[in-house]
Amino acid sequence: MPLAAVVLDFDPILRLGGIGVRLDALAAAGGVVVALLVGAILAWRQPDDVRSDDLLFIALAAAPGAVIGGRLGYVLVHLDYYRANPGAILDPSQGSLELTLGVAGAALTAGYAARILSGAAGPWFHLAAVPTLIVLGAGKVAMALGGRGQGLPASEPWATHYAGPGPWGSLAPETPSHPAQLYEAGAIAIVVVFVVALLSIGLFRRGDGLAWIVSIALWLAARTVIAATWRDAPVVGPLRAEQLLSLGALAVCLSAGIVLVRAAASPASQRRGEVRWPDAETRPPF
């Protein structure tokens, strides 16, 4: 067995007196808090179309969509098991949630809430581009802290394995493997830098949600590539079920992006949907 160049040997539980808190839970919660703070700052800088006091309601509205979509995605990824055990589909103690359809579900319910509260979802999706990436990246770091999401066994010098009693979330955590969860966290960090650069030069000045679509599309493209290192078995040729879901979601993002770009080129749509800024030259970058 090849020796991993990176040995992850730490206690995944932060112990304070008689209380123990998992590091992955802290990282995930911290990511949500940071994303909400960034969202609140951005909402405060926006015009009246986006009210910062609506932010929490929209964030809460994303939760049921994320759970329903995430569970549906998990069932699709493990379809053989749930065909044989349909009663387990609604059992919250069995299995987990899948991320691609979780994001899609969250977008649907949060977008619906945004439309009810402010009359248009586009400005809120524009605002959510970077916060969404923060949540996704923090979730991947949380997986690494909990020993979850390890990829296929690997002999590369950057392969990782977990030492110590854990408990760790991956099977055979002592086996040197691709750190697939960290691959994705790194890819998300690159997407954040790229999207912030595009926002800073004013590429998405309409504030119609195209920035969010581009952010998610870039993440999905990276996720599709990285999922090739996952331990799941291929289901169609070399493609795993997660790759098929990501490709499908990517196709939806590209279609939505084309619709928004065409809408931006239409004078009537521009007058109807553009966020009104008192001075276009002074609009904040995002």
How confident is the model over 139-171, as pLDDT tens digits?
Answer: 999 999 999 999 999 999 999 999 988 899 999
Q: Name the pairing type of β-strands 13-16 and 239-240.
A: unpaired
Position 210 scores a pLDDT of 96
Give the residue-averaged pLDDT of 56-63.
94
Position 32 scores a pLDDT of 95
- How far are the Cα atoms of 63, 168, 198, 208, 286 from residue 45, in angstroms, in the given order? 25, 42, 18, 16, 8
Q: Is the pLDDT of residue 286 over 80?
A: no
For residue 137, give every residue at least 6 positions away whose Cβ sits within 8 Å of its Cβ, in sequence order, or none: 31, 185, 188, 189, 192
Q: Is the pLDDT of residue 247 over 50?
A: yes
Nearest to 132 by CA among 152, 111, 149: 111
Position 51 scores a pLDDT of 77
Position 282 scores a pLDDT of 45
Give the residue-averaged pLDDT of 181-207.
95
Residues 142, 31 contacting (CB under 8 angstroms) = yes
Residue 279 pLDDT level (bands cut at 50, 70, 90): very low
Looking at residue 86, its amino acid is P
Local structure of residue 203 (DSSP, 8 states): T
Secondary structure percentages of the chain, helix, strand, coil, to 5: 60, 10, 30
Q: What's the whole-model pTM score?
A: 0.89
Position 280 scores a pLDDT of 41
